[in-house]
Structure 1
Amino acid sequence: MASADNTRKDIRPIQRFITTHASDGKTIFSDAISEEAPFQTLPDNVDFALCYATDQFPAPLDNDRDIDTYRHYTQNLPGITIPSGTVLRVVDMPPGALSPMHRTISLDYGVVLEGEIDLILDSGEKRTMKRGDISIQRGTNHAWKNRSETSWARMLYVLQPAGRLVIAGQEMTDNSTDTIPGYDKD
């Protein structure tokens, strides 16, 4: 995955502010990681920013262990989800982009930050999401489409692991590493 060139987009770069504690117990902003969220461009021209990640739930906050975990993942990108932790990701979709139909075995909260995006299900149903609208993905097969032919769209996702999912006697599986360009199996 290549680093993204933010000059090609019509939306601003993202900053994220991580808080921590000073040795006297007062709350401060951490300077352990740059405040600018780095984007990576996938082969289909979609930009992913891993804005935070944990590998345990609940997350261990003492001695900034969660920040150390996140720093590790910024240098060793995880898959779409982390089986025992959480992922905070921002996805920038170029004009007209359509993701492959995919499923993760996770509970995902998605929020449209910029633009309008269609959430398409494998049943053929779809909903148009506008700025501020929220989706809750529960291990379902779905795709995303940026409705604009001229402007980028941006979504924020919080992904957390889910237990085994059985529908009509068949166990559902994660197919995101087979369908999302640029992501390999862990």
Structure 2
Amino acid sequence: MPPPQSTPKDLRPIHRYITTHDEHGKAIISRTMPSVAPVKEINDGAVQFSLMYTNPRLPQLSKDADIAFYQNHLDNAPAITIPEGTVCRVCDFPPDYPAPMHRTVSLDFGVVLEGEVELVLDSGETQHLYRGDVVVQRGTNHAWRSVAPGGGWSRMLFVLQTSEAVQLASGETLVGDEGGIDRGEAE
């Protein structure tokens, strides 16, 4: 499905604030990067990603190592998940655009921030989600679709933490499949 070129995006820019410490150990807002999160267009411009934060394994907060790790990913887009790490990202979905079915080897928390979204599972089951609804995504094959009233855009916040692969009762181990979702890599 081609991206909806004629539908204006009616969502405000996302701001993200990262805390750090001053030389006296007091909490402050890092000014290393602007507060407005950069937006990357993916899937031929149909969907827009804003990478909010990333960290390797146990976060290394001393000397702002985690902020440097995240800054690198702004220019070198990570996969949907980071091995043994955490990703926080915001995704803006255009009206009625069916995101590809995909599975990640991770525990994900998805929160509807704006609009309404339909969660589609590979079983055929769907769930209509409203602003503030949370999905705990546990390594299942799924897709998202904006179903905002009046054909508007929808926005979700995702926090993804790498997990062990799901092993079914049959002994089969489920593997990740990004379903053709691109990462919005820098050109």
Secondary structure, aligned partner of 2:63: helix
1:35-81 deviation digits (Å, cap 9, x = unpaired): 1101100024100010100112x201111111111111111110100
- Unmatched segments (≥5 aa) in structure 1: 1-6
TM-score (norm 1): 0.90
Matches within 5 A, 1:32-181: 32-44=32-44, 45-56=46-57, 58-148=58-148, 150-167=151-168, 168-176=170-178, 178-181=179-182
CA shift, 1:182, in A, is: 4.8
Equivalenced residue count is 176
Cα pair 2:51 2:88 within 8 Å, conserved? yes
What is the distance in 1 between the residues matched to 2:137 and 2:183? 22
1:71-126 Cα shifts (integer Å, max 9, x gaps): 11111110100011100000000011111111001000000000110101111111
Distance 1:30 1:141 in 2: 37
Task: Measure the CA separation in 2 of the matches of 1:25 and 1:122.
Answer: 48
Q: Identity across aligned pairs (percent)?
A: 47
Could you tell me how far 1:181 is from its partner in structure 2?
Answer: 3.8
User: Runs of 5+ in structure 2 lacking a partner?
Assistant: 1-6
1:14-29 to structure 2, matched below 5 A, reads: 14-29=14-29
One-letter amino acid matched to 2:59: A
Query: Residues 122 and 88 of structure 1: is their aligned pair in 2 closer, same or farther, counting only changes over 3 Å?
Result: same
CA RMSD of aligned residues (A): 1.6
Q: Is the 8 A contact 2:84 2:163 kept in 1?
A: no
SS in 1 for 2:151: coil
User: Deviating runs (4+, > 2 A) in structure 1?
Assistant: 181-184
**Counterpart-to-counterpart distance in 1, 2:113 and 2:174:** 30
Return closer, same or farther for 1:182/1:54 CA change in 2, 3 Å cut-off.
closer
